Homo-oligomer: A and B are copies of this chain.
Amino acid sequence: MAGTRFAYVRKFELPDPLLPGTFILLRLDGHSFHRFSDTHGFSKPNDSRALELMDHAARSLMEEYSDIVLGFGESDEYSFLLRKTATLYNRRRSKITSTLCSLFTALYVMHWPAYFPDVPLRYAPSFDARIVLYPSVREIRDYFSWRQADTHINNLYNTAFWALVQQGGKTTKEAHETLRGTVSSQKHEILFSQFGINYNALPSQFRKGSVLVWEKTSIPYNPSNCSASQVLDGENETDANDQEGQEKGASTRITLLHCDIIGDEFWNRRPYILKG
């Protein structure tokens, strides 16, 4: 066959299996999204449309890949946890990384018009992705705590920063200088005393990030624990038929939460996430 004498080049494709028995954490980050958000007029400090588009893409990715048991998003990044027993694509690193990143990207672009009906894409956005392996539950808990703490820190800073600029009339340089060296309580104070903003009353979507998790729909959420719960209905699923599905034992679905995932409550209620 014509191709035979060239086929030896396949031998340069080396295997890249992930260590079995470890949790697979895939994190996607928007590539140069500072520029992308400026070009497309994202609201500051947060753009709900952009966040919800991210959530939509993440949710659809999870519907396609059932090995993903948890998603957490903030700003232009999303983290996905795959169960440690996952055998997706024989645990090949590049295959998983690229395919899931590609699908997320495709979903983001495909659904863009639904979230930004008046803002045509000026150029194609892209995301990078990496896989990190974690051997134990402790590290997974700390990983998600790390990301949610990051959400809080960034959002508090950005909220104060943009209040100073948009409402306080400062330049961005002045705003950075005002905030330099301030601790958390000082930023709260600036927001409250200068702009009448009670930070803790801002939407949990901004303060807590987005949590996507498979769950039975009958689980009641403690409003103080999880102040906002928005469900993007999956395909072929309505609130009406939830109870019915429940009875048939088939009604787990992906639910979007904006709740605390640093404490134990979230995890204690959902032992299946870290089960394996």
Chain A interface residues toward B at CB < 8 A: 1-3, 5-15, 17, 19-22, 31, 60, 84, 93-95, 97-99, 101-110, 121, 124-136, 139, 142-143, 145-146, 149-150, 152-153, 184
Contact = CB atoms under 8 A, between A and B. Distances in A.
B131 A94 contact: yes
Contact of A13 (B7, B21, B130, B135): B130
Q: Which 9 A-B pairs have the closest CB atoms?
A: A6-B146, A106-B124, A135-B135, A3-B149, A103-B126, A98-B129, A102-B126, A109-B109, A102-B105
Contacts of A126: 99, 102-103, 106
Contacts of A60: 124
Contacts of A150: 3
Chain A contact residues: helix, strand, loop or mixed:
helix
B132 A13 contact: yes
A128 B98 contact: yes
Contacts of A101: 98, 101-102
Given A12-B20, A98-B128, A103-B124, A136 B139 contact: no
Nearest to A142: B6
Give the residue among A7, A146, A184 with the most B Cβ atoms within 10 A: A146
A146 to B, nearest CB: 4
Contacts of A133: 12, 19
Given A15-B17, A20-B11, A124-B106, A2 B94 contact: no
Contacts of A142: 5-6, 8-9
Nearest to A4: B149
A26 B273 CA distance: 32
Contacts of A103: 31, 105, 124, 126
Give the residue among A11, A60, A98, A146 with the most B Cβ atoms within 10 A: A98
Contact of A19 (B8, B14, B31, B108): B14
Contacts of A129: 94, 98, 102
Contacts of A31: 99, 102-103
A21 B9 CA distance: 10
Given A94-B131, A109-B106, A153-B2, A21 B17 contact: no
6 contacts: A9-B143, A19-B22, A19-B133, A19-B135, A98-B98, A109-B109
Contact of A21 (B15, B21, B135, B153): B135
A15 B91 CA distance: 13
